[in-house]
Every structure is written in structure tokens, then in C-alpha cells.
Amino acid sequence: MSRKVPSSEPEPQGSDDPRKAAPWIPIPIIRVDLDRLTDVAIDDVVAGQRVWLEVVKEDQVVGVVETFAEVDGLKRATLESATADLARIVLPPHERIADELLPRATVIVPSICQDPARLIRCLEALLALDYPDFEIIIVDNRPDTDRVPLPQLPGGDKVRVLEETQRGASSARNHGISFASGEFVAFTDDDVTIDASWLRELGTRFVKNPEVDGIGGLVLPLELSTQPQLWFEEFFGGFSKTYSQEIFSADLLSGVDKMFPYAPGRFGAGCNMAYRLSALRANGGFNPYLGTGTPTRGGEDLARFMEQVLSGGTLAFEPRALVRHRHRASEKEFLRQVFGYGTGLTAMFTALIIREPRHIASLIRRIPGGLRLLNKPRSERSSSSTPSYPRRAYFYHLLGMAYGPLAYARSVTRSKLKR
């Protein structure tokens, strides 16, 4: 749940006129615990500066709220007012599962190793996870021409490094899956910061819900240091669409959710997802023609979620399984990402139709609902009180969507030519 301070001003839907843009001031993200609410001191903040509150109740993030700083920070009364709606949320009981009941896990991290220091930080966070039995597989997805020795990685025998020269996150993940020994496989990326309880919460959910084949976890922004990082939250609503535990299956949602299962963004994101190993092997893993590193630029994670429920499987969303993503920092990177997400979306649907043409009729029936989702005011998607992303982001997104089918054809052709 997101909440923002009401405003009497008309709500802008982005702008491309730099003369109208106020000077950018980074937005601090402050973690506020409703069970231990007190005054919050914030360094280097001025009165009236925007602040995002990551609101926690019973050790679970239940929402993000935007408010405005007072002198030196935020008073308890201000916090109580800003978080009043979230304080009323009633959470389901949360039981800690004994270590001996948790299944063995495999964590797979595909990487093109652009930043060895970042990869090492990711590994160090994984090694510090609160989980009794797991292995880590790093899949080096650089082409042969880019391959130089990796630095010494921490972890010893707990960390295995594999090489996959077929470009693409899907091929890298599939290669890792073929070596996995865990009962479930968790996937993340080397550009996220991982919560210490991440793997335990995923394992706990698999134990509590034995019918679940796959899980998506909560992804929050690590920082809002640059304006394009805020634009990502405003334009897409971030990675995660809910802060609640959910279950998704055809039996539960067919006829109830008119877009099910063709709006797979609600299921999760590739930087924070997990599947039972048996489910991955039964359904063939990830589509190698989709994903980062291929002409389609993405869509492989959403395709995998959608294929799981279409095959009769069950998915879950677990907000306690938390990672924080470092969004793209520059305007150029943001617009490239917007284009890539549009490309991956329609490439994913192209792949689905090619494999099973019966989905054409279902997709056509959902076009009006899909257009309503695409046209949903961006101000309703995030906590931002003053959306400021450039209007041309719409153009980049639509251009990417138009390119998606061609990108998928290019990806298939390129892969076949390399065999």
C-alpha cells in the first residue's frame, strides 16, 4: 500500500520542459517500525524535503508512504499521521519454521561480471543469509571474447562458478538449474541488496504452502539518489504491486480476475523469485530466446510465471522475502530500460502465441483491460506526490512494445545461427 500527502495542485503526468522542473533533491528512504514508533532524526535534510517511509509492522514491510521532513527529521506525531492507514492493517500470524524442517536451497545469480566488486558484495550478503542449508551458483554469462579471470570470490566450497557463453539471463539460469541440488531454487541479481531473512522467508513459504510451485518476493528501491531512480518508481510503480501475501492459480482466479493470467507483473520479478526444482525441470526452465542479453531485453521472468499458472501450477507472493534494487541512475539508462521493458513484454506474448496459438482469442478479449492498465495514472502507481518523469517515456515504452515481436524473431534466428 502506498500513500501520499494530498495536494490541491493539479497532478502532472510527467514533463519534458526543463524550465518547469524544480531542482532535484535526493529523497531519503527511512525505515519506520510501527511497533516502536519514535522521533526520527535525518542527517542533511531540510524542512519541507520529501521523505519516503518504508513502513514496517511485525517485522514485515506493509507499505511505503511519502511525507515531508520537519527541522532535523520527523516527529512521532507526524509519523503517526502519515502511517495511520497502514497501522490498521491486520497481518496473518507468522511462525518461524525450525531449521530442520526447511528444505535445502540453491541460489542462482546470473552475471556478466561488469563490476567484480558488486558481485563480491552480493556474494557476501548471500553467505550471511539466515538459512541452514544452501548452495550458491554464480553463472558467468560473458561471451568468450570478454572473458578474463574473475577475482577471488568468497565462500569456498559453498560457492560454485559456472560458465555459460550463450548470451542471456535465461540461458544462464537454465545452466545453473542443471547443476542445482536444492529442493527449491531462488534467483536474484548482483545489483540488488538482499535482506538477511530473504531465503528463510522463501523456504518458510514453501513449507507452509506445499501446493505452491513458485514464489515472487518484494522488491523495493535501495535509494532515490537521482531523479531517474524516482522516475522508475513513478512510471512503473516499482517492481512489486502489493505488500500482501497472495496465492495465484487458475482455480482461484479464473473468472474473478479478468486479466488473469496475462498481467504477470503482479506475480513478481526476476531479481527476487524462487521455484521448486521439480517445477523448473518439469516445465523446461526459462525461454532462452527471452531475457536480458538477448534482443528481447527481458520478459523471461514474466513468461516463466505465466507458464507456471497456465500449466495448472500455483504461485505465491511473499512480501517478507525482501530485496532492494538499485535503479538506473541516469536519464539515458532509464529510457533504455523503459524501451527494454516494452520490448520484453510483447516479445513474451509473441512467444506465448507462437507456442500456443489458442491464446490469441484470450489476449484479444483482454485488450481493453490491458489498455486500462497501461493508461492507469502514474500518480496512482507510486508514493510520489509530484510525478516528474519525462513524457517521452510513454513513447519509448510504446516503441519498445512495437519492436517486441521483431526482437523475438531476431533472438530465435540469432540463436539458431549460432548452433
Number of domains the chain is built from: 2
- Are residues 108 and 235 part of one domain? yes
Q: Residue 2 has what pLDDT?
A: 52
Looking at the structure, tell me whether residues 43 and 125 fall in a common domain. Answer: no
Instruction: Give SS3 for 332.
Output: helix
Question: Does any domain span residue 380?
Answer: no
Residue 151 lies in a domain: yes
Inside any domain, residue 371: no
Residue 387 CA, chain-centre distance (Å), reads 21
What DSSP line would sit under 103-131, residue for residue? PPEEEEEEE--S-HHHHHHHHHHHHT-S-
**Taking 80 as the threshold, does the pLDDT of residue 379 lie above it?**
no
Q: What nine digits make up the cell of 22? A: 524544480
Give bridge partners of residue 162 from the DSSP assignment. 139
* pLDDT, mean of residues 175-190: 97
250 and 329 both lie in a single domain: yes
174 and 296: one domain? yes
Measure Cα distances from 100 to 38, 132, 153, 231 in Å.
Answer: 38, 8, 29, 44
- CA dist 253 and 122 (Å) reads 36
pTM, full prediction: 0.90
Sign of CA dihedral 93, 98, 99, 103: negative
Higher pLDDT, 387 or 413: 413
Identify the domain containing residue 330 by its residue range.
99-348
Domain edge (last residue) among 317, 348, 379 = 348
Q: β-pairing, 246-248 with 315-325?
A: antiparallel
What is the reported pLDDT for 378? Answer: 56
Same domain, 142 and 197: yes
Sole residue written with cell 517486441: 404
Assess whether 134 and 162 both reside in one domain: yes
Percentage of the chain modeled with pLDDT above 90: 72
Q: Over the stretch 41-56, which tens digit does the pLDDT of each residue have?
A: 888 888 899 999 999 9
How far is the C-alpha of 341 from the C-alpha of 401, rounded, in Å?
8
Q: Are residues 37 and 180 in the same domain?
A: no
Any domain includes 52:
yes
Across the range 179-207, mean pLDDT stands at 97
Residues 243 and 179 in one domain: yes
Task: Give the start-end residues of each E strand in 200-267.
Answer: 214-221, 246-248
Average pLDDT score over residue span 73-97: 94
Asked whether the predicted pLDDT for residue 7 surpasses 60, the reply is no
Are residues 183 and 308 located together in one domain of the fold? yes
Q: pLDDT over 70 for what percent of the chain?
A: 90
Report in angstroms the alpha-carbon separations of 253 from 247, 261, 369. 9, 8, 16
Q: Give yes or no for a cis peptide into 149 (omega within 30° of 0).
A: no
> Is there a domain that residue 397 lies in?
no
Picking from 28, 61, 87, the residue at the C-terminal end of a domain is 87
Question: What's the mean pLDDT when you consider all of the chain?
Answer: 89
Residues 213 and 325 in one domain: yes
Q: Are residues 220 and 318 in the same domain?
A: yes
Same domain, 182 and 77: no
Q: What CATH number is associated with residue 272?
A: 3.90.550.10
Please indicate, yes or no, if residue 190 is contained in any of the structural domains. yes
> Are 158 and 135 a contacting pair, CB within 8 Å?
yes
| Within a domain: 206 | yes
pLDDT score at 148: 76
Domain annotation covers residue 158: yes
pLDDT of residue 343: 98
First-to-last C-alpha distance (Å) of the chain: 47
Cβ atoms 239, 325 nearer than 8 A: yes
Looking at per-residue confidence, does 309 or 22 come out higher?
309
Is pLDDT at 94 greater than 80 in this prediction?
A: yes
